[in-house]
Amino acid sequence: MEVGLLSICVFTALFSLVAKRLSVTIITAPMAFLLLGWIIAQTGWISSHAAEQFLHPVAEVTLVILLFLDAAQTDLNALRKSHIWPSRMLLIGLPLVTALGTLAAWPFLAGWPLIAVALVAAILTPTDAALGQAVVANSAVPPRVRRGLTVESGLNDGLALPAVLLFASLTAGAEAGDWSYWLSFSAAQLLLGPLAGVAVGYMGGQLLLLSHKHSWTSEQFAGVGALAMAAACYLFADVIGGNGFIAAFVGGLTFGHIVQGRCRFVYEFTESEGQLLSWSAFFLLGLALVPEAITHLTWPMLGLILVSLLVVRPLAIWISLIGTDAASVTRLFFGWFGPRGLATALFALLVADQIAGDVGEQVLNIAINTVWISALLHGITATPAAKAYAQLVAKMGPCPETIPVPAPHEQHTAAINKGES
């Protein structure tokens, strides 16, 4: 155990020293830490059983915090008025990915109930910008495009979660033969979770504004409060019978809408401490789940995964952007860079235990295999594809892609400087 822990510490320290340099190569942090976890699993330095004990709490804490903070970064007014691309991808593309994914997955999951197939499609819907960091951090890619990918990936996991929970409850009901219990359970989760999130997010946002007005706090302490609010959303929802993850997402949206960029911690955490949480989760996935999932990877499962990555999302995103000013090459770019990451793995972990029989285990294996395959494919294509796309856009001259779109906290800072806030 000590040798394994020492290896993790040394690797993390060394990786952090070259992380900036690696960000412009085909090697991404998720790829590296998934691989590290898999290698340590093969050595036996840390047992998979011990890793699973850590995986669940780390995964849940990571998901709660990132759902809250990603949602809190969203400027809902700007999203509605200015960010037409991510709005279309979220409101049209997201449901289309699940619907087309269900149709595409059905031939590969012969004999499965349609609801269980829809559950798999919903779990494979959310994307993770961390797997395409070389794209969203590449200054050669136009800011509007990078912002579109960031906004979409920050929100689509929270928006996909209700469908995942609903299909999981219906699948569990079908397996157990008790529809009424699972339907009522699902309804309570989906209704009470958002109520808890709105209550905590609204109260927390108003208190932060009051505290700022009287200079009772600072950025450092406000950050502690933001983390506490994320936890409060989750726990309050659990107390009243709602879903804590939906509560964290809705709470973040509400909090961010009220404070309007006045909590800088929300933007800084995901670029610092949030990285450590993400790296830890990917490492534990590689250690605890990837080795087992690989042994269950079959040709039909591989076909399903590749169709989901290469066909379903690109087609859904292409359709969702019809009628916008996005060029064809931009639609293809958006469609490809929808890597499946932590949300896919964590959603599968959440629902696998609810479903009896082999279906729950197979859902988890499909999700985990999708994550490492996506990490590999999107990781090795991120840098060269971003470079090629940037060159194509540059040749197009002035175009909608090059319209600058500042991030919400930048818009707020500009407003303060002009005395408009």
pLDDT at 110: 86
Q: How many domains does the chain have?
A: 1
CA pair distance 367, 346, nearest whole angstrom: 9
Using one digit for the tens of pLDDT, what is the confidence trace for 208-253? 888 888 888 877 787 788 889 999 999 999 999 888 999 999 999 9
The full DSSP string for 342-362 is HHHHHHHHHHHTTS-SHHHHH
Question: What contacts 304, CB < 8 A, 6 or more positions away?
Answer: 104, 105, 108, 109, 120, 366
Asked if pLDDT for residue 256 goes beyond 50, the answer is yes
Over residues 383-399, the mean pLDDT reads: 84
CA pair distance 375, 226, nearest whole angstrom: 30
Residue 420: inside a domain? no
CA pair distance 179, 375, nearest whole angstrom: 37
| Higher local confidence (pLDDT), 403 or 40 | 40
Residue 421: inside a domain? no
Query: What is the length of the chain?
Result: 421
Residue 71: inside a domain? yes
Give, in order, the Cα–Cα distances in Å from 397 to each of 154, 269, 316, 392. Answer: 29, 36, 27, 9
Using one digit for the tens of pLDDT, what is the confidence trace for 291-321? 999 999 999 999 999 999 999 999 999 999 9
Do 372 and 220 meet the contact criterion of CB atoms below 8 Å apart? no
The full DSSP string for 200-250 is HHHHHHHHHHHHHHTT---HHHHHHHHHHHHHHHHHHHHHHTS-HHHHHHH
pLDDT at 229: 92
Q: Is 261 left (phi over 0), alpha (psi -120 to 50) or beta?
A: left
Question: What contacts 157, CB < 8 A, 6 or more positions away?
Answer: 67, 70, 126, 127, 128, 249, 343, 347
Do 8 and 36 meet the contact criterion of CB atoms below 8 Å apart? yes
Please name which of 95, 160, 178 lies closest in space to residue 341, comparing C-alpha atoms. 160
Do 212 and 161 meet the contact criterion of CB atoms below 8 Å apart? no
Instruction: Count the helix, strand and coil residues of the chain and give each as a percent rounded to the nearest 5.
Output: 80, 0, 20
Percent of the chain with pLDDT over 90: 38
pLDDT at 420: 36
Using one digit for the tens of pLDDT, what is the confidence trace for 16-50? 888 878 877 778 888 899 999 999 999 888 877 77
> Which of the residue ranges 102-116, 139-153, 373-387 would you say has the lowest mean pLDDT?
139-153
Residue 69: inside a domain? yes
Using one digit for the tens of pLDDT, what is the confidence trace for 46-102? 877 778 888 888 888 888 988 898 888 877 766 666 678 889 999 999 999 999 999
Query: Residue 130's pLDDT band (boundaries 50, 70, 90)?
Result: low
Q: Which amino acid is at 320?
A: S
Residue 17: inside a domain? no
Percent of the chain with pLDDT over 70: 86
Please name which of 383, 338, 333, 405 lies closest in space to residue 135, comparing C-alpha atoms. 383
CATH of the domain at 64: 1.20.1530
Asked if pLDDT for residue 136 goes beyond 80, the answer is no
Average pLDDT, the chain: 84
Asked if pLDDT for residue 413 goes beyond 50, the answer is no
Asked if pLDDT for residue 414 goes beyond 60, the answer is no
Asked if pLDDT for residue 419 goes beyond 60, the answer is no
Domain that holds residue 185: 2-12+25-415
Asked if pLDDT for residue 415 goes beyond 60, the answer is no
Query: Residue 285's pLDDT band (boundaries 50, 70, 90)?
Result: very high
Query: Residue 125's pLDDT band (boundaries 50, 70, 90)?
Result: very high
Asked if pLDDT for residue 394 goes beyond 70, the answer is yes
Over residues 271-280, the mean pLDDT reads: 77
Burial class (CB within 10 angstroms; exposed 0-12, middle 13-18, buried 19+) of 198: middle
CA pair distance 195, 204, nearest whole angstrom: 14
Residue 18: inside a domain? no
